[in-house]
Amino acid sequence: MAQKAEMTSPQRIAIIGAGWAGMAAAARAVQEGHQVTLLEAARTLGGRARGVPLTLPDGGEIWVDNGQHILIGAYAESLRLMRMVGVDPEQTLLRFPMALTFPDGTGLSLPDLPTPLDALAGIVGARGWPWRSKLALLRVASRWQLAGFRCAPSASVADLCAGLPPTLMKEFIEPLCVSALNTPVKQSSGTVFLRVLKDGLFSQRGGSNFLLPRCDLSALFPVPAARWIEEKGARVLTGQRIDGVERKADQWWIDGESFDLVALAVSASEAARILNVSSQVAEGSLHELMKMWSAQAAALEFQAIATVYAQANSSGTASLLQRPMLALRADDQHPAQFVFDRDQISVPQHPTGLLAFVISASQGERTKLEAAVVAQAQSQLGLAVKPLLTIIEKRATFACTPALVRPPTQIAPGLAACGDYIEGPYPATLEGAIRSGWGVFDQLR
């Protein structure tokens, strides 16, 4: 194993990538007094969780996201870092108790009670579930809790839920699993699923609360974080695509500039590309370390997420949906699992009638997805909608499968990686990215 470098202050640190992980890494390094240079290939900060402009039919422009996200109350590090860089989560996030309810009112809705009473009351009071289904879920949940929310590494979510009624699987477990892990239940890691349940449902009051961003994702954290670190002397350089890093005389060199430490805070595929290029000029063990790490990153499989932003006829100030978000009954003809009422979330000055339909583990082609969403909106919501913008992130998240081997944080002496795909207990979430970024240099101390 590569030896750990000493983090004497101040160190010259380069962070490649200004997504949520990169911004967390930069904030930690700046806070500890290091000289930070942040290099981002794009012009917009945020990586795979960023704001994008959308032009409405009336010519007005608003900012949405490259994919509708849900945060939860258990995202303690995300909320802490937002506050640290001057963002007030109470103002920028719409918080409400977990609700996986359908347009007809059936489904699970948790009350605002201490844990685990909120989950117990929510299950007992779930509408549309027969008592035998409720009792079956309570038995299974008790079994998970007694086992310390641990299971065999090879177990899938389907294995964990063996014996649950098919309707409960279809209308609760599957939407919960696909929203958390973006992987179908038969292929999803039971270990990671249980960790999400433990932290979200059984660790703290409000941990299961849904938090929906009122602003775009770039404005929620990356942009304020960039402003915060620049005020403390960091350099934030956009439009800087990095092709490789080189080790010379105990320093890392990037485009003619030397650094003591480098963090790759980019996607798995981009990190593998940079290391494959870098390995061509690396010698000995460094060459092998780079090739080994990039092979692990390249071996990850990925799932797509599609978000269809569609406009419905807005009737004055009336809300289009009963809640800010609803679960939808998904099948081959109706692909969206969730729909979000953007006007209820962001409360614009003038109603836009904009809905966001989210299709996790998406496999469809854009035109067919849009047609299917239009049909789904009509049949399940009674709304006629017109798609305005469809964003398909083909490599949105890694496939969170049982016993998955994820790349480690440390690559080589003074060289590390961070991101939601790095080894850890969480699936590909904003919280996973934040935690990975905040701790990226710990192993190099």
pLDDT digits (tens, 9 = 90+) for 244-261: 999 998 899 999 999 999
Q: How much is the pLDDT for 363?
A: 85
395 CB-contact burial (10 Å; exposed 0-12 / middle 13-18 / buried 19+): middle
Q: How far apart are the first and last CA of the chain?
A: 14
Stated pTM of the model: 0.94
Span of 4-13, 144-153, 214-223, 303-312 with lowest mean pLDDT? 4-13
The pLDDT confidence band at residue 315, using thresholds 50, 70 and 90, is low
What is the DSSP-derived secondary structure letter of residue 173?
I
State yes or no: pLDDT of 94 exceeds 90.
Answer: yes
State yes or no: pLDDT of 326 exceeds 90.
Answer: yes
More confident of the two residues 198 and 318: 198
Q: How much is the pLDDT for 192?
A: 95
User: Is 143 strand, coil or helix?
Assistant: helix
Q: How much is the pLDDT for 144?
A: 94
Taking all residues of the chain, what is their mean pLDDT, rounded to a whole number?
93
The pLDDT confidence band at residue 4, using thresholds 50, 70 and 90, is very low
The pLDDT confidence band at residue 149, using thresholds 50, 70 and 90, is very high
Q: How much is the pLDDT for 1?
A: 36
Q: How much is the pLDDT for 5?
A: 44
The 10s digit of each residue's pLDDT in 370-403 is 999 999 999 999 999 999 999 999 989 999 999 9
* CB neighbour burial string for 199-238, b if at least 16 within 10 angstroms, e if fewer: bbbbbeebbbbbbbbebbbbbbbbbbbbebbeeeebebee
The 10s digit of each residue's pLDDT in 26-49 is 999 999 999 999 999 999 999 999
Domains (range + CATH), the chain: 12-49+218-300+401-444 (3.50.50.60), 51-95+211-215+302-398 (3.90.660.10), 99-208 (no CATH)
The 10s digit of each residue's pLDDT in 15-28 is 999 999 999 999 99
Q: How much is the pLDDT for 316?
A: 57
- What are the φ/ψ torsions at residue 282 (nearest 5 degrees)? -85, 155
> Angle at the Cα of 393 (from 391 to 394), degrees rounded to 5?
130
Q: Is 32 left (phi over 0), alpha (psi -120 to 50) or beta?
A: alpha
Q: How much is the pLDDT for 193?
A: 95
Residue 389: CB atoms within 10 A of its CB come to 18
